[in-house]
Amino acid sequence: MTTAAPRTPGILDAPPEDAVAWINAAGQHTLAERMGITFQEATPQRLVATMPVAGNTQLYRMLHGGASAVLAESLGSIGAVLHAGEGHIAVGVDLNATHHRAVRTGTVTGVATALHLGRTTATYEVVISDEAGRRVCTARITCAVHGRRGDR
């Protein structure tokens, strides 16, 4: 008789109140940590994270559009993973972003709201705002939901 190797506890094993702490801890040594992204709220329907402008600027010292895209993708991907559930993975397949205004200092906040939570795809609208609440960027991310690679 064979027994399965113990599974490493993951985000789906965490109680809802601990999910944010788990996400932030799991983000260590990743692009999210490098960019200073910190999750504040995380459910399949709504996610919130902040990111500093400092260190995430382009040559003109304005928030880099790619940094906004990273924040949007991070929010949508985590939301899709929460939606997908045990035994599934979610990967981004489409991301678009419209940049509305420049930000030079402070922190931006991204709020991802589920637009579609299906069996094979999850789509989120992400609104990124500055500290004054002004919209900086609007993004949409679609993730494909798959069974774990080992299950194929």
CA 36 to chain centre: 13
DSSP classification of residue 57: B
- Beta strand 88-99 with 121-129: parallel, antiparallel or unpaired? unpaired
- Active site annotation includes 73: yes
At 33, which helix (H) or strand (E)?
helix 31-35
Question: Is the distance from CB of 93 to CB of 142 less than 8 angstroms?
Answer: yes
The one catalytic residue in 17, 33, 41, 73 is 73
Residue bearing tokens 């609208």? 125
Which residues carry out catalysis?
73
